[in-house]
Chain A
Amino acid sequence: MLARASRKLSPFLFVLPALVFVFLTMIYPLVFNFRLSLTDADLVSFVRGASAFIGLHNYARLLSDPELHNAFTVSIAYTLGSIALMYVLGFGLALYFNQRFGGRALMRALMLLPWVLPTVVSANIWRWMLDGTYGVVNYALIRLGLLDAPVFWLGNAHVALISVIVVTAWSIAPFAMLLLLAGLQAIPISLYEAARVDGASAWQRFRHITFPLMRPVSLMVLLLNFIYTFKTFDTIFILTRGGPGEVTTVLPILAYTRAFQFFRLAEGAAVNTILLVLPVVLSVIYFRIARREGEL
């Protein structure tokens, strides 16, 4: 009896330490963050334990705060822009590397480097390449006749967001390529052969076979990367610190600024909660679809 019970219990005992750790370092901080957001804590009052409960006051104030509205809009624009560009780049690369040619495996592997590079590094490289005075991007564009005068890509309020989007897309497109490539390889070749026999052009084959069949994979790639991109902090922090002005201040940057630069901990915590809403909704959708497709 006892032996059987212990055998049934033992897998759970193996999992328990990790579960306790995850509870303490994930669930508890999230609850703590929410409780913190209901107080008036700044850094000093918090450490002294002198902060007071003020209910939803922080949220009420934030909801009429133009800086929060701005950060939300910027977050959406930044995320949608990044994943749109990522998708176009990633799909193009996947189509190219889905063809058979010598050296394909090696090239495809090397293409993944931007994705595995730490974001701090890739952001710093692009700061240098996008530099207004000596950056290689300006040099190349002027030489090609696409620009008349140097552009301060990260300092100019009109283009800073676009620059940040390009850098982000550059580093996540290889990941999209990888997932889309797997989708392309799952399409039966016989479909293409049949279409060819019927005289379909390359464009028609793409339009009527590849694209529709890739829709489920595409949806997952876009959803997943929306969730991952919406939370971006390092890339933007290194590139622009959220500036110029607040042109690139996304929600995570706003939360950081409030909590760690203005020392208004509780306000930062409230921004954190707001930041969480959209990813939570989308990940529920993502998991639902994944389960329906039997991937989970």
Chain B
Amino acid sequence: MRRDFGRRLLSPFGVVLTCVYLFPIYWMVITAFKRPADMFAIPPDIVPAPPTLQGFNHAVIGNEAVFQGIVNSLVIASGSLVITLALGAPAAYGLARLRLRFTGLIILVMLAAQMLPTINLALPMFAIFSRLRLVDTYFALIVANVSLTLPFAIIIMRPYFLSVPSELIEAAMIDGCSPFGAFRRIVLPLVRPGVVVAGALTFLTAWGEFVFGLTLATSDGMQPITVVLNRFIAQYGTRWNELMAVSTIIALPIVLTFLFAQKHLVEGLTAGATKE
């Protein structure tokens, strides 16, 4: 009897636990929809009454800097996505077919790359790009982002390529396919889910990236949205509804992708961070 009662409480208590843990995210969204005067209400309103789009209107739609930041982030994230997949998919395929000795070493380097502090790359890249007069360009920002996303994408995609039977590839080559033709026409369509996961994670990583944006985008017009937000923290002071509106916009693509493709993304992220 007692045990049964305890079991029945697991679900409701789980709901409470989840709500408490996720409260900060709720608080961000709710604050973004509050009127400036209501933000400082005591006791704080748990639900905005009435909800208003004023924060979004001011800080996002009517604000050129934020708009430019979003555009910059989209360009950087899309560029990173294209280059990461163009280099990463063939590499993951090659690594799935290469002798074990090499693969082990290369994968080790790729994993170690994840563990590098970003500032360790950002500082020398700033110096190198300064010499090349490439600081404050999309090119520099995209290259920097790909240095993070490429190793990650390769590790995520390799298992998918490993699952393609090698007989299939040999057969295609006997039928006259070049090695690249076999890769493009036979293998790539089979591993599409892996490529999509790696692509999504690449895009989202670059979208939320901060340190490269902070160091390599030296003019306001070049900064990604994350760095624009950081600039606003100083400028906006206590206009929390607007700061939370911009934060919500930054979080939105990530939360949406996560909610729709949670299982795949989590598998990919875990694999990329821990092991193959």
Which residues from chain A sit less than 8 Å from chain B, CB to CB?
Answer: 6-7, 10-19, 21-22, 25-26, 28-30, 32-33, 36, 41, 46-47, 93, 96-97, 99-104, 107, 109-114, 116-122, 124-129, 131, 134, 136, 139, 143, 170, 175, 178-179, 220, 224, 227-228, 230-231, 233-234, 237-238, 252, 255-256, 259-260, 265, 268-269, 272, 275-276, 279, 283, 287, 290, 295-296
The reply to whether A122 and B24 form a contact with Cβ atoms under 8 Å apart is yes
**Given A15-B90, A272-B123, A118-B40 contact (CB < 8 Å):** no
Within 8 A of A (CB), among B79-125: 87-88, 90-91, 93-95, 97-98, 102, 104, 106-113, 115-121, 123-125
**Given A18-B88, A29-B125, A179-B274 contact (CB < 8 Å):** yes
The bracket for how many chain B residues form the interface is: 35 or more
Q: How far is the CA of A16 from the CA of B130 in the complex (A)?
A: 27
Q: Contacts of B130 on A, CB cut-off 8 Å?
A: 46-47
**A37 to chain B: closest CB distance in Å?**
10
- Contact pick for A22, options B7, B113, B204, B276, CB 8 Å: B113
**A157 to chain B: closest CB distance in Å?**
20
Q: How far is the CA of A97 from the CA of B18 in the complex (A)?
A: 11
Which residues from chain B sit less than 8 Å from chain A, CB to CB?
Answer: 7, 10-11, 14-15, 17-18, 21-22, 24-25, 27-28, 31, 39-40, 42-44, 87-88, 90-91, 93-95, 97-98, 102, 104, 106-113, 115-121, 123-128, 130-131, 143-144, 146-147, 150-151, 154, 173, 179, 183, 204, 207-208, 210-211, 214-215, 226, 229-230, 233, 238, 240, 243-244, 247, 250-251, 254-255, 258, 262-263, 265-266, 269-270, 273-276
Q: Which residue of A lies closest to B9 (CB)?
A: A101
The reply to whether A18 and B150 form a contact with Cβ atoms under 8 Å apart is yes
Interface hub of B18, B102, B263 (most chain A Cβ within 10 A) = B18
22 A-B pairs in the complex with CB atoms less than 8 angstroms apart: A6-B179, A10-B94, A22-B109, A25-B144, A30-B116, A47-B131, A104-B11, A110-B18, A111-B18, A111-B21, A113-B255, A113-B258, A114-B25, A117-B254, A125-B28, A128-B27, A134-B39, A143-B43, A231-B119, A237-B214, A272-B124, A275-B119
The reply to whether A14 and B94 form a contact with Cβ atoms under 8 Å apart is yes
**A147 to chain B: closest CB distance in Å?**
15
Q: How far is the CA of A256 from the CA of B127 in the complex (A)?
A: 13
The reply to whether A233 and B117 form a contact with Cβ atoms under 8 Å apart is yes
Q: Contacts of B117 on A, CB cut-off 8 Å?
A: 230-231, 233, 252, 272, 275-276, 279
The reply to whether B94 and A15 form a contact with Cβ atoms under 8 Å apart is yes
The reply to whether B94 and A120 form a contact with Cβ atoms under 8 Å apart is no
Q: Contacts of A255 on B, CB cut-off 8 Å?
A: 119, 123
The reply to whether B98 and A22 form a contact with Cβ atoms under 8 Å apart is no
The reply to whether A112 and B119 form a contact with Cβ atoms under 8 Å apart is no
**Given A29-B121, A113-B255, A12-B98 contact (CB < 8 Å):** yes
**Given A17-B87, A25-B146, A179-B274, A139-B42 contact (CB < 8 Å):** yes
Give the 9 A-B CB pairs with smallest separation, nearest first.
A118-B208, A14-B94, A231-B117, A18-B91, A101-B10, A25-B147, A15-B94, A29-B124, A33-B124
